[in-house]
Amino acid sequence: MATTTPPTAILGTLVDFTSRENWDKFFALRGTGDSFEWYAEWPNLRAPLLDLLGDRGAAAGAAQEILVPACGSSVLSEKLYDAGFCRVTNVDFSRVVVADMLRRHARARPEMRWRVMDMTDMQFADGSFDVILDKGGLDALMEPEAGTKLGIKYLNEVKRVMKSGGKFVCLTLAESHVLALLLSEFRFGWDMSIQAIASESSEKSAFQTFMVVMVKGKMGVAQTIKSSLDQSAEYCNMRQANAVIRALGNENIIRESYSSSVDVLLSLRDLQLGAIGDLKVIVPGRRRQFILGEQETSLYCYKAILLDAKKQTETFVYHCGVFIVPKARALEWLFCSSEGQWHVVESARAARLIMVFLDSRHANIDMDIIKDLSPLVKDLEPGNPEEEAPIPFMMAGDGVKQRHTLQEVTSEITGPMVVEDVVYENADGDQGSMSEKMFRRLIFGRSSGLVQSEALLIRDPPSDEVDKKNKSAAATSKKRRNHKRGSKNSLRIDHKFLGSSYHSSIISGLSLVASSLSAAASSGEKVSITVVGLGAGCFPMFLRGCLPFVDIEVVELDPLVAELAKKYFGFSMDEQLKVHLGDGIKFIEDSVAANQSVNGSTRNAFKILILDVDSSDLSSGLSCPPENFVEDPFLLIAKEFLLEGGLFVINLVSRSTSVRETVVSRLKAVFEHLYSLQLEEDINEVLFASPSGRYLEINDISAGASKLQDLLKIPVDVESDIQKLQKLQ
């Protein structure tokens, strides 16, 4: 007889649902000869399952090979056997439960098989089963704390051991993280349907069970998911069903976009799942853009293009090759146009070429990048990789024509840092130009040569042009000055230049509060801007020159970074621009505490808070900002810091879609308004959040852009940036 509610002491053994030892203990404590159902018992499953499998008795069912992974002590298999489906193979990694089930069924059901086996690493040949019937197995693997690794490994095995045209039937509670994995892993080349398992209205469970069916179809096609959930109110928990309906609606929008447009930017996982067909086969002329890199498997993500040579000949030198393009050369015709890219494919003499574009975070093309890319491109290799030669890495020059290192230093906080002057190839579009631009860069070594800041160097005008009125008196002093300064000392930082496009986007996003900025400028009131993260100081220096009516406070954790900013990048402080050395989160917390003690009129001051700080821990999937800056405790503090309005700005760099979605979800929960400005050339995304609409240009952002343009003392292409601004909430 099935037991539906196990004793608390027994359930307490299952702290970790992925642990073999815990399950052995669980089944040992339950004893032998008993069955256990977590959810969806046979009377409710019988009709939909037999309808799916074909309720025609032994003659029809005998030929179907059915696999039940993570079978446990459920009666599901024996009920299928008794209904005429005798070719059932049950697997579980608990020896205790397999031994018990074998004893119970060996004589009564001799054709049914039982195996001790890990369902994430099954010892079956490819294409062994017509039907794979999962009842809670995937749910058990997908504990939120464990992530998706085991779930993906299991689903890969499901696809491997399933016959062509076979069915994967997943009985699940369809929690959001489980459903998200199923929807993405079976997005391409599968016909997918979902229905609720009925129960009597008097016994509606708080845990509604759903049956998700995946049937292998045409590779590369993203089919719309079929669902009858909106007609299930009479017999299922509609609170859960409505959440699933919303998820399916969002997924179908995604699938329709894949089907209707060739310009959708795919992920590496999309390609592995068959979004553009079989990767093992060369398709002449195939060209697709995608993001190369996944959380927990790579340091970075890279924009990339897969190109299969238009003409397949026997003269190829390589079956597959990788061509790396540094950021400094990404806009050259040869690399940014499809025509130029086909020229590169032809020159490389590769049947398939993976063109990888580096961004502003990579100072040089080094072995760290090669090591990072090597495992990623392996899955993109056509044919049988074991029989092919290793994939060669080719590269354009790093774009640096001249390099002069000014200082190398190691900080206990930031690690190795380099300050260098560089001249890029074709910086002015003319390789022979005498006026080639020189840039000064601050590089963080902890992240494979992260270019943290880049500034433009300009020359001071000759001294005889500065003071033409005193030519006779200047001759002697000029010689002294030139002798003392030398040619290199005539270079200085141009603080009217922004080296990072995301900094321009941050300023353009201030269009959201342009009316408040304009009112402050007219009244003589000061607007407070707090920037967490100094870097080389180029951004706050630009802000000071661009918006002279703002007071800027910068918080920097590393004193050595501040020293380098002053020594090499012309950073200076005054009454308008101050630097505080210390932890950014503590500074904001202390500011909030101080605000709480002042009167109301002072507390209503308009504020802007900007996070422009990178993370030293890339394992979280966040490159910028550090993870604790986008967790609920700090977001709530940031909201209080802004008081009744203002703007919270985040430079977000994440190589993980799920991490990005988590950050956005948290911001939506805390802030009333949220906007996004996605940069086309970089991975950076700038997020703008506000606790209220008090200071926002909600109705006419274009008008706000015009107002901001009038306020700026240094030109910024606000109109172009603001067109990319999207409202998220």
The pLDDT value given to residue 365:
61
- Token pair listed for 111: 């054709």
User: How far is 637 from 584, CA to CA, in rounded Å?
Assistant: 12
The pLDDT value given to residue 434:
36
Phi-psi category of residue 267: left, alpha or beta, with phi > 0 → left and psi -120 to 50 → alpha = beta
Backbone angles phi, psi at 55, to 5 degrees: -85, 75
Place of tokens 């000759």: 462
Per DSSP, the chain holds a count of helices (H) and strands (E) of 26, 30
Helix, strand, coil percentages (3-state) for the chain, rounded to 5, are: 40, 25, 40
CB atoms inside a 10 Å sphere around CB 362: 24
Quick one: CATH architecture of 501-595+604-727? 3-Layer(aba) Sandwich (3.40)
What is the domain class of 8-52+63-259 according to CATH?
Answer: alpha beta
CB atoms inside a 10 Å sphere around CB 628: 12
Cis ω before 625 (30° cut-off from 0): yes
> Exposed, middle or buried, 713 (CB in 10 Å: 0-12/13-18/19+)?
exposed
CB atoms inside a 10 Å sphere around CB 39: 18
Contacts of 542 (CB under 8 A, 6+ apart): 495, 496, 497, 498, 503, 507, 714
Encode pLDDT of 61-104 as tens digits.
557 899 999 988 888 999 999 999 999 999 998 888 888 888 88
Place of tokens 């049937």: 215
CA dihedral 601, 604, 610, 613 (to 10 degrees): 60
- pLDDT lower than 50: segments of the chain: 1-11, 56-60, 201-202, 204, 427-435, 448-449, 466, 469-470, 472-488, 600-604
Residue range(s) in the chain whose domain bears CATH number 3.40.50.150: 8-52+63-259, 501-595+604-727
User: How far is 565 from 453, CA to CA, in rounded Å?
Assistant: 10
User: How far is 458 from 686, CA to CA, in rounded Å?
Assistant: 29
What's the half-sphere exposure (Cβ side, CA atoms, 13 Å) at 427?
Answer: 15
| Bridge partners, residue 458, by sequence | 492
SS3 call for 184: helix
CA distances to 148, 396, 538, 637 from 591, rounded to whole Å, are 39, 49, 24, 10
Encode pLDDT of 697-717 as tens digits.
877 888 889 999 999 999 999
